[in-house]
């Protein structure tokens, strides 16, 4: 249970950072950011794999670039599900996905490194 909570909080922090960096993305509060992290996690766990399977021909034809469209769709869908989270356009969703991915990776690596050094 702790890895889920940690990943959710890390993603929420990345959502807040991305909302500060992008003018087309608005997050009302830290609670909203946590809700966005949970909804994105659920969408990426259950819906995204189905979309990837259903769009294999398009993905192959576009050499994998269609996966970017699927990421944008997941973010736009999360924005429609979570009150207080808005993404104005497709470009904002594109850059939001990139920023959240980068910052989530950085924060996750920092927290993982700290946990490993504490265990030793």
Query: pLDDT per residue over 57-83, tens digit each?
Result: 999 999 999 999 999 999 999 999 999
Q: Does residue 52 lie in a domain region?
A: yes
Residue 9 pLDDT grade (very low, low, confident, very high; cuts 50, 70, 90): very high
Residue 107 pLDDT grade (very low, low, confident, very high; cuts 50, 70, 90): confident
CB-CB neighbours of 29 under 10 Å: 11
The range of the structural domain enclosing residue 54 comes to 2-112
pLDDT at 114: 66
State pTM to two decimals: 0.88
* Averaged pLDDT, 12-32: 95
Question: Structural domain tally of the chain?
Answer: 1
- Helices within the chain (DSSP H only): 2-21, 30-42, 48-54, 56-61, 66-81, 90-119
Q: Tell me how far CA of residue 32 lies from CA of 51, 94, 98, 106, in angstroms.
A: 26, 20, 20, 22
Q: Does residue 64 lie in a domain region?
A: yes
Q: Does residue 120 lie in a domain region?
A: no
């Amino acid at each position: 249970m702790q890895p889920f909570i940690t990943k959710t909080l890390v993603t929420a922090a990345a959502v807040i950072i991305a909302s500060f960096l992008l003018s087309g993305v608005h997050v009302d509060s830290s609670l909203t950011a946590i809700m966005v992290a949970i909804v994105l996690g659920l969408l990426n766990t259950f819906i995204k794999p189905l979309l990837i399977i259903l769009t294999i021909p398009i993905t192959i034809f576009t050499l994998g670039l269609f996966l970017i469209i699927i990421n944008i769709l997941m973010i736009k869908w999360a924005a429609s599900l979570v009150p207080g989270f808005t993404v104005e356009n497709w470009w904002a969703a594109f850059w939001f996905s990139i920023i959240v991915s980068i910052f989530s990776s950085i924060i996750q690596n920092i927290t993982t490194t700290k946990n490993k050094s504490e265990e030793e």
